[in-house]
Amino acid sequence: MKVKCALIQLAFRKGVDNALTAAEGFIAEAAADGAQLILLPEMFCCPYSTKKFPEYAQPDDGEMCRRMSAAAAKAGVWLVAGTVPELVREEDGTEKIYNTAFVYGPNGREVCRHRKIHMFDVDVAGGVSMRESDTLAAGDSITMFDTPFGRVGVAVCYDLRFFEMFRLMQKAGCGIIAVPACFTAKTGAAHWEVLFRSRAIDCQCYLLGCAQTRNDSAPYVCHSHSIAVDPWGRVLADAGTDECIVYAELDTEVTEKVKAQLPVLKQLREDAYHL
């Protein structure tokens, strides 16, 4: 079975309304071009700054979620709506903010949400110093959803570096893994394509990464290069650094051919994987 996916590489816009309006327009355009599965970037309507996440945080019935749900329904597509800072009020009155990817079906209903599990707490020499955990809470569960074209897994940005969670999604039957992301310019130049190709080869499935455009004058410079990789590790689409939509055709037949030629998933020796 074939499915056309669209990666919408958005430029950051000041103001939530401006960001959402731009996303709505691109979603409609991608759907008109035949896309059935659409991805948006990580924090596409919020500055990528730990200080700004609380300012932009909204509950799951806030404007960001309502409008993305409506956009999915209007376009009749499966939408991995990037990520937004999700505000959660606990029963004891405390509040938490998660970096959350909401997924909507063609009817506009939420089918799942993935809260970023691994916090980007790093200090890269000559690159960026950040501690997401200063303002964000970490998720604690693997996220997948079922579609007519197979099971899809969801991860967010830094999650990509943790192979164990991808192996679990592969073992659960995911043929596609969608990753809204915003790698830094330095780490992205070194690791972005390598990691996506590695995960696709290891898990013998399609890997999709959707990022923001690159703005060298911004406080946080994104690597960009939204990417689609097939189960053989071939790059099907690379968006470069400008605002655009890139498309890729995903084919379950290709996945089955790769698994038949290299049956590594059947040859796992978990009985021997111990010290």
The per-residue pLDDT string of the chain (275 residues; one tens digit each, 9 = 90 and over) reads: 999 999 999 999 999 999 999 999 999 999 999 999 999 999 999 999 999 999 999 999 999 999 999 999 999 999 999 999 999 998 888 899 999 999 999 999 999 999 999 999 999 887 788 899 999 999 999 999 999 999 999 999 999 999 999 999 999 999 999 999 999 999 999 999 999 999 999 999 999 999 999 999 888 999 999 999 999 999 999 999 999 999 999 999 999 999 999 999 899 999 999 99
Asked if residue 176 is part of any domain, the answer here is yes
Asked if residue 251 is part of any domain, the answer here is yes
| Residue 231 CB neighbours (<10 A) | 25
Please give the positions annotated as active site.
42, 116, 157
Asked if residue 87 is part of any domain, the answer here is yes
Indicate which CATH number applies to the domain containing 176: 3.60.110.10
Which residue range is the domain that position 57 belongs to? 2-261
Q: How far apart are CA 197 and CA 125, in angstroms?
A: 25
CA angle 259, 202, 137 (to 5 degrees): 130
Asked if residue 273 is part of any domain, the answer here is no
In contact, 82 and 114? CB cutoff 8 Å: no
If one counts the domains in the chain, the total is 1
DSSP-assigned states of every residue in the chain: -EEEEEEEEPPP-SSHHHHHHHHHHHHHHHHHTT-SEEE--TTTTS-S-TTTHHHH-B-TTSHHHHHHHHHHHHHT-EEE---EEEEEE-TTS-EEEEEEEEEE-TTS-EEEEEE--S--EEE-TTS-EEEGGGT-BPP-S-EEEEETTEEEEE--GGGGG-HHHHHHHHHTTEEEEEEE---BHHHHHHHHHHHHHHHHHHHTSEEEEE-PPP-TTSSS-B----EEE-TTS-EEEE-TTSSEEEEEEEEHHHHHHHHHHS-TTTS--TTT---
Asked if residue 128 is part of any domain, the answer here is yes
Asked if residue 116 is part of any domain, the answer here is yes
Q: How far apart are CA 150 and CA 200, in angstroms?
A: 16
Asked if residue 52 is part of any domain, the answer here is yes
Asked if residue 275 is part of any domain, the answer here is no
